[in-house]
Structure 1
Amino acid sequence: MIVSYNWLKEFVEFDLPPEELAHLLTMLGLEVEGMERRFGDLDNVVVAQVIDKQQHPNADKLSLCKVDNGAEILGIVCGAQNFKAGDKVALAQIGAVLPGDFRIKKSKIRGEESSGMLCSEKELGLAEDSAGIMILPQDLQLGTPVFDALGLKDTIFEVGLTPNRADCLSVVGIAREVAAKLGKRISYPVQKVVESGAPIDTVASVTVEDPHGCPRYTARYISGCTIGPSPQWLVNRLQAVGMRSINNVVDVTNYVLLEYGHPLHAFDFDLLTARKIVVKRASDQDKFTTLDGQERVLISTDLTICDGEKAVALAGIMGGGNSEIRDVTRNILLESAYFAPSGIRRTSKRLGLHTESSHRFERGTDINILTRALDRAASLIAELASGSVATGVIDVYPQPVEQRKITLNCSKVNKLLGLDLSEQEIVHFLERLEFKAKQIERGVYEIVIPTFRVDIEREIDLIEEVARLNGYERIPVTMPLARVFSDRPPRHQRLETQIRSLLVDQGFNEVINFSFVSPSALEKLLPEADVAPPVPIKLLNPLAEEQSVMRTTLISGLLETVKRNLNFRTMTLRIFELRRIYLAHPERELPEEPMMLGAVMVGRRNPEGWNQGKEEVDFYDAKGVAEHLLASLRIRQPLFSTSDLPPYFHPGKSCRIFSGTEAVGSVGELHPTVSENFGIDKQIFYIEFNFEKLLSHVDAVPTIVPPPRFPDTFRDVALLLDEELPAQDVVGYLQALNVPELEGIDIFDFYKGEHVPEGKKSIAIRIRYRSADRTLTDDEVNPIHQRLVEKMVKNLKASIR
């Protein structure tokens, strides 16, 4: 919000210098982000009087003047002809720097010395164009800086408002805050509407078909207007806050917008076909051209102002080119309405059309200020455009809004703020903000909230108002009570940290992706068309279609990251993410949010270098990372199985990871179709763990096993097995026999081909035996080994090679 120091002083009497006023506003929560002194650097442009004006002896179009600046008589050469001796003018003296960095120096023009320059409005930055030099009123004192004499010197504040303080998007709103803080009274603008002519009901009508989107609509009719330039005071006031002057009628609507914070709109009444206003929703694919000349395609949720046949304004955002005020406009219908913030915000965001009007309606204006702003604007238009205001006001207000009432407990105010304010002080602070207080019982009051304070909803909001008015700096500083306690993180946090460290040690980098994904990203994870995708949780108000559902897996985000890096020529990647996914629960409103670990490997096994190999990572690299992770977490005897794989894994190059009978993760190559769906033409190896399940299998206390005292012995056996039987099943079978002397099982050879029957494979197994209390002899080991081999031959349908 841009606000003028001089404009504020029209509503509140105060003598604070601009710097102190900026501090006061900031301490009220209205942070002053910048200050600009308007015309503060032009004090060397002073009021002067032309004593004599003669023709320049060496130039037909120049004049040689003698000018009195109150201290001396100066010779000035001037090219303008719109002045005479005796006129008071603006003299830029030697050393003055005019807008545009134009520095005034003593010079000779056609042989005559000129000790300054007589200035026009354009040269002083007061107008875009001017026909001659600026003629000043005769009552101004010579030598006075021009901008002081004309009252144009000002300080402009740029106030950064939080979205909830819509009431301060106006000069009146900020003046109200200053008055409340200083204990002053605010002087509101006076509306004096002189009505004449026929009642407005006989001239125009208003119908509101969507009272939810437009709870109130008011209008006045002004006839016989003359459109022309605005008076200089109005032009100066708008320019001071960064608005350009258009014409006297439009300038008035902008002036009242800034003054009261409520947008208004003026229609050329003669361009309204049916001579009436209808507020209604647009139809899908309706086209409407706004004042900026852009054609907008509307949808059924957009609220429009129509003339009975066509749209003439986009409600609360911008008017249409088919009803704008023109130079020939004579009759005006002036609108002052209230539009629901949600509807304006939705339409403005969709169309990318943000205006001063929508900025205020989106945040919530005062529904009960409509007629006051309407009358203020109507009286100014009648004065500046010589119009006649019709009798009466159209006011469509089917369900008047009542002021909210909130109960305030004064003891709670002091308890929360750490103060010792009396009931009278607390009530007085609120009354200075134009709240009304009624005592219910001792220390408890019913506070009536004015409708311009749309941000006050709860008791705590009233307590904040007391804190603001009393002064944040007056809240006592107390040292917090320090307690010494152990800050040992819980077990799951320690394991999260451990897993991150383990993966970083393996050369991985952690990434963080959005929890919101596109529905199509989940479909890309299905290599087969007949597999139904998981049902994701949809967002009610997504930012974009690409982020419209909650992720059900980490792999989609990781693959998007891989694709982006590959596009930037980063061809070797090891990345992981340890975050939550969101799974809809059929019986609960809230989803399940398990923590998952996903890690991707792609590219070279070793960093690029002259002494490094060029081999690419493969399944065993990924499986090695998974095994290292499991071993470091002390998960004993994990099992790897090719059954029940997630659909995005390659069925022949992937496996599930079990701890006991529970699946805790998967590892392997992604299905080529999945990689292709994401636009990746490289082999992708993926490691996935359910952190919650993994956590339940981690040994809480490390087990220390002393080194063996007695030597081991081993026996080898080569088995001929069915090709479909996983080698892991052989290992699992032997472990399940629970032979005390059996210490370890290793598969050290695999063969399939010549001398091996079709449908069979050969694996060689080394079985290690050891006893904890003695050295085993061959006579002890051989019978045990023989029984194991016989059991494998019988139960695994194997034969000895």
Structure 2
Amino acid sequence: MIVTYNWLKEFVDCDLPAAELSHLLTMLGLEVERMEELGGGMDDVVVAQVLEKNQHPNADKLSLCKVDNGKEILNVVCGAQNFKAGDKVALAQIGATLPGDFKIKRSKIRGEESCGMLCSEKELALSLESAGIMILPEAFKLGTPLFDALGTKDTVFEIGLTPNRADCLSVVGIAREIAAKLGKKVHYPGLEVAETGAPIDTIAKVTIEAPELCPRYTARHITGCTLAPSPAWLANRLQAAGIRSINNVVDVTNYVLLEYGHPLHAFDFTLVAGGKIVVAAAGEGEKFVTLDGQERILTASDLTIRDGEKGVALAGIMGGGNSEIGEGTTEVLLESAYFNPSAIRKTSKRLGIHTESSHRFERGTDVAGLTRALNRAAQLIAELSGGKIAKGIIDVYPHPVEPRVIKARLARINAVSGLSLNAAEVQDILERLEFEVKQPEPGVFQVRVPLFRVDLEREIDLVEEVVRLNGFEKVPATLPQASVFSDLPSDFQRLAARVKDLLVSQGLSEVINYSFVAPASCEKILLSADDVRSNGMVLLNPISDELSVMRTTMLPGLLDTAVKNISFRTLNLRIFEMRRIYLPAPGKELPEEPLYVSALLTGSRDLEGWNQQKGEIDFFDVKGIAENILGELSIPNVSFSAESLDPYYHPGKACRILCGNKVLGSLGELHPTVQENYGIGTPLYYLELNFEALLASRKGKGAAQVPSRFPSTFRDIAMLLPKELPVADVLYCVKGVKAPELEGVEVFDVYTGGNISAAEKSVAIRVRYGSKERTLTDDEVTRLHQRVTDALTKKLNVSFR
């Protein structure tokens, strides 16, 4: 919010130096981010008079002038042509510094000496545009500093407001704060509206079809207006606040917006069909052209202002090009309304439009102050344009809003703040803020909060107001007292940390992605519409449209991370993430939030080096990582199945991880289409484990096994089995033989082709036998081995080679 000191002083008597006022505002919670003196340091720009204006002897487009600054006659070269001898002008003398750090020096221009510069309004930052140098009133005294003569010396304060302080998005609001702090009264403008036109109810009509989005709508009608440039005082005020002057009618609406903090809109009433205004939701897909010339596609949730035929404004945000004030406008309908903040915020964000109007409506305006702003604007428009104001106001207010009443306790105020205020002091502070205060019993306040303070809802808010007005510097500085203790991590936290450490030890790097993803992410990883993970929870107020759905799998986030790294030529990736996902729970409002650990790998298995063998990461690297995690957590009876795979896996190159009938996760190469959707040309390998399912499947703590002191014996078996039979079934069959002497089994060869039929494959396994009590004899090993081969023949019907 930008305000000027002179403007504030019109509403509150304040003679503090600008620096002290800046400190006072900051200590009230209205942080002054910038303070700039208008005309400060520019006393070398003075009122002067052109005595002679002659053609420059060496340039057709330049004039050589003799200028009187009240002390001496100076030669000045000037390129403007909008002045004549005898005019009073603004002269920047040698040594002056103009806005933009432009220093005036004695110089020669085309061979003629120039001892200064005749200035335009733009060069002095008094206007955004100017057609030539400033021509000053004849009454101005020569040699007077220009800004003193114009009466425009001022100080601009740029105040950084927190979103809750919507009441201070106005000069009146900030003046109200200063007055409350200094114990003074606010001087509100006198509102004397001369109603000389016809009754307004014979001219216009307003209907609200969406009262939940527009609780109140007021309007005035002004006819006989003459559009013209705004007077200097008005244009300068707007210029100081960073708003371009347009014309006297539009400028008044902007002026009152800054003064009262309530947006208004002026319609050319001759363009309003049927003479009526209807506040209603837009039609789905309706097209509307706003004042900036952009065509907007609206939805049924957008609120519009309509006439008898069409939309004429996007409510609370921007007017339409089909009803704007322009050349030839003589009849104005002035709108002052209250719109639902969340509705305005939603439309503004969706359409990407942020205006001074939407900025205020989004935060909440004063529903009780509509008519004050309306009357103030109508008064100024009639005064500046010569128009006549119709008798009466249209005020559609079907359900008046009552001010909020909050109970506050003196004991609570002092306990929270550490102060020792009495009841009279607290009541005085609250009344200075224009609150109505009653004490139904000693030490208890019933505070009726005015509607312009939309941020005050609870007792603690009133505590803050008391502390703020009393002075933050008066709050005693004390150290907080608290018992410090440390909780030991839970088993869940300890095991999660172990899994992370294990993954890092295997060369993986942890990443952290957003918990929300793009709506199209499920399609990119090939999840069907009927998959529960395709129905993620949609955020009501997302950061952006690309981050608007809670993730149901961590794969999209990891893929986005991979894409970004690969684009920077980081081609060898080993990343993991251990975070929660959000799965819709049928019949429940909130989702389930299981903890998952997921990893994504691609590129070379080893770092490049002269002694490294080149090899690409494959399925078995990822499977090894999964087996290490399962082993670390002591999960028994783990099996792998290639059935019922998720669609984002490559068929035949992925598997699910099971513990009995419970699914623990899955791993494998991603489907080529997924890689194509993300623009990645190298194979990607993915692992995901449900950490909570892992912990539920643990058996014991996985105590270390003492190795045997006696040697083991190995026997190999080569067999033929159907090609589609998983080798894992062979290992499960061998492990199923109940014998304590059977210590382990592993596959050491798989062969297809050659003299092996196309329907079969050759598999060789090595079985290890041993005892912790003695060395086994050959006969004992042979009998054990026979039990193993019998089990393979009986259960899997394999043939031995």
TM-score (norm 1): 0.89
Unaligned runs of 5+ in 2: none
Q: What per-residue deviation string (whole Å, max 9, x for no partner) do you get for residues 36-58 of structure 1?
A: 2212121112356x6x9467699
Conserved? CA contact 1:74–1:115, under 8 Å:
no
1:243 alignment partner in structure 2: 243
1:405 alignment partner in structure 2: 405
CA RMSD of aligned residues (A): 3.4
2:9 alignment partner in structure 1: 9
Q: More displaced, 666-675 or 429-438?
A: 666-675
Query: Separation in 1 of the partners of 2:387 and 2:484?
Result: 77
Q: More displaced, 253-262 or 283-292?
A: 283-292
1:541 alignment partner in structure 2: 540
Query: Separation in 2 of the partners of 1:105 and 1:718?
Result: 100
Which aligned pairs between 1:340-739 and structure 2 lie closer than 5 A?
A: 340-481=340-481, 483-518=483-518, 520-526=520-526, 534=533, 536-541=535-540, 543=542, 546-566=546-566, 569-635=569-635, 638-659=638-659, 662-676=662-676, 678-697=678-697, 701=701, 703-719=703-719, 721=721, 725-739=725-739
Query: Separation in 2 of the partners of 1:456 and 1:625?
Result: 55
Alpha-carbon offset, residue 426 of structure 1: 2.0
Name the amino acid aligned to 1:541.
Answer: L
Query: Separation in 2 of the partners of 1:320 and 1:725?
Result: 71
Query: Separation in 2 of the partners of 1:691 and 1:588?
Result: 23
Unaligned runs of 5+ in 1: none
Alpha-carbon offset, residue 733 of structure 1: 3.7
Query: Separation in 1 of the partners of 2:178 and 2:277?
Result: 39
CA gap of 1:102–1:517, structure 2 versus 1, over 3 A, is closer
Conserved? CA contact 1:119–1:134, under 8 Å:
no
CA gap of 1:625–1:206, structure 2 versus 1, over 3 A, is closer
SS in 2 for 1:412: helix
Query: Separation in 2 of the partners of 1:307 and 1:724?
Result: 73
SS in 2 for 1:768: strand
1:174 alignment partner in structure 2: 174
Alpha-carbon offset, residue 273 of structure 1: 3.6
Conserved? CA contact 2:733–2:791, under 8 Å:
no
Alpha-carbon offset, residue 339 of structure 1: 1.9
Q: More displaced, 33-42 or 618-627?
A: 618-627
Name the amino acid aligned to 2:430.
Answer: L
Identical positions, percent: 59
CA gap of 1:508–1:39, structure 2 versus 1, over 3 A, is same
Q: More displaced, 439-448 or 484-493?
A: 484-493
Query: Separation in 2 of the partners of 1:340 and 1:758?
Result: 73
Alpha-carbon offset, residue 112 of structure 1: 8.7
Query: Separation in 2 of the partners of 1:726 and 1:591?
Result: 37
1:262 alignment partner in structure 2: 262
Query: Separation in 1 of the partners of 2:647 and 2:43?
Result: 78
1:129 alignment partner in structure 2: 130
Alpha-carbon offset, residue 183 of structure 1: 1.9
1:96 alignment partner in structure 2: 96
Name the amino acid aligned to 1:129.
Answer: S
CA gap of 1:790–1:407, structure 2 versus 1, over 3 A, is same
SS in 1 for 2:382: helix
Conserved? CA contact 2:670–2:683, under 8 Å:
yes
Conserved? CA contact 1:77–1:109, under 8 Å:
no
Q: More displaced, 651-660 or 683-692?
A: 651-660
Name the amino acid aligned to 1:134.
Answer: I
Query: Separation in 2 of the partners of 1:447 and 1:78?
Result: 67
Query: Separation in 1 of the partners of 2:728 and 2:415?
Result: 68
2:199 alignment partner in structure 1: 199
Name the amino acid aligned to 2:368.
Answer: N
Query: Separation in 2 of the partners of 1:22 and 1:783?
Result: 96
CA gap of 1:154–1:764, structure 2 versus 1, over 3 A, is same
Alpha-carbon offset, residue 7 of structure 1: 0.9
Q: More displaced, 637-646 or 165-174?
A: 637-646
- 1:305 equivalenced with 2:287 (yes/no): no
Alpha-carbon offset, residue 663 of structure 1: 3.6
CA gap of 1:380–1:506, structure 2 versus 1, over 3 A, is same
Query: Separation in 1 of the partners of 2:798 and 2:287?
Result: 79
Q: More displaced, 442-451 or 774-783?
A: 774-783
How many residues in Structure 1 have an aligned counterpart in Structure 2? 793
Query: Separation in 2 of the partners of 1:531 and 1:286?
Result: 31
Conserved? CA contact 2:572–2:604, under 8 Å:
yes
Q: What per-residue deviation string (whole Å, max 9, x for no partner) do you get for residues 62-114 of structure 1?
A: 5545542xxx44445587896777x8764433211234655444467899976
2:40 alignment partner in structure 1: 40
Alpha-carbon offset, residue 268 of structure 1: 2.6
Name the amino acid aligned to 1:135.
Answer: L
Q: What per-residue deviation string (whole Å, max 9, x for no partner) do you get for residues 692-727 of structure 1?
A: 122344577562433433333344444555555544
Name the amino acid aligned to 1:383.
Answer: E
Query: Separation in 2 of the partners of 1:637 and 1:299?
Result: 56
2:210 alignment partner in structure 1: 210
Query: Separation in 1 of the partners of 2:324 and 2:215?
Result: 24
Alpha-carbon offset, residue 168 of structure 1: 0.9
Conserved? CA contact 1:312–1:320, under 8 Å:
yes
Conserved? CA contact 1:269–1:333, under 8 Å:
yes
Conserved? CA contact 2:597–2:689, under 8 Å:
yes
CA gap of 1:191–1:601, structure 2 versus 1, over 3 A, is same
Alpha-carbon offset, residue 448 of structure 1: 0.7
Name the amino acid aligned to 2:513.
Answer: N
CA gap of 1:740–1:262, structure 2 versus 1, over 3 A, is same
Alpha-carbon offset, residue 169 of structure 1: 0.8
2:164 alignment partner in structure 1: 164
Q: More displaced, 698-707 or 36-45?
A: 698-707
- 1:321 equivalenced with 2:354 (yes/no): no
SS in 1 for 2:94: coil
Query: Separation in 1 of the partners of 2:232 and 2:181?
Result: 33
CA gap of 1:227–1:437, structure 2 versus 1, over 3 A, is same
Query: Separation in 2 of the partners of 1:387 and 1:633?
Result: 84
Name the amino acid aligned to 1:212.
Answer: E
Conserved? CA contact 2:633–2:701, under 8 Å:
no
SS in 1 for 2:274: coil
Alpha-carbon offset, residue 788 of structure 1: 4.4
Name the amino acid aligned to 1:181.
Answer: K
Q: More displaced, 447-456 or 209-218?
A: 209-218
Q: What per-residue deviation string (whole Å, max 9, x for no partner) do you get for residues 433-468 of structure 1?
A: 111112232322221111111111222222221221
Alpha-carbon offset, residue 750 of structure 1: 4.0
TM-score (norm 2): 0.89
2:24 alignment partner in structure 1: 24
Name the amino acid aligned to 2:537.
Answer: K
Name the amino acid aligned to 1:606.
Answer: D
Query: Separation in 2 of the partners of 1:239 and 1:628?
Result: 69
Conserved? CA contact 1:426–1:466, under 8 Å:
yes
Q: More displaced, 609-618 or 393-402?
A: 609-618
Q: More displaced, 198-207 or 671-680?
A: 671-680
Conserved? CA contact 1:536–1:550, under 8 Å:
no
Q: What per-residue deviation string (whole Å, max 9, x for no partner) do you get for residues 5-38 of structure 1?
A: 1111111112222222222222222222222221
Name the amino acid aligned to 1:601.
Answer: L
Alpha-carbon offset, residue 262 of structure 1: 0.9
Q: What per-residue deviation string (whole Å, max 9, x for no partner) do you get for residues 562-611 of structure 1?
A: 34544554443222222212222224332221111222222222223454
CA gap of 1:668–1:61, structure 2 versus 1, over 3 A, is closer
Name the amino acid aligned to 2:670.
Answer: L
CA gap of 1:447–1:664, structure 2 versus 1, over 3 A, is same
CA gap of 1:226–1:787, structure 2 versus 1, over 3 A, is closer
Q: What per-residue deviation string (whole Å, max 9, x for no partner) do you get for residues 364-384 of structure 1?
A: 111111111111112222222
Q: What per-residue deviation string (whole Å, max 9, x for no partner) do you get for residues 389-412 of structure 1?
A: 222222122221111111212222
Conserved? CA contact 1:121–1:134, under 8 Å:
no
Query: Separation in 2 of the partners of 1:47 and 1:179?
Result: 37
Name the amino acid aligned to 1:175.
Answer: A
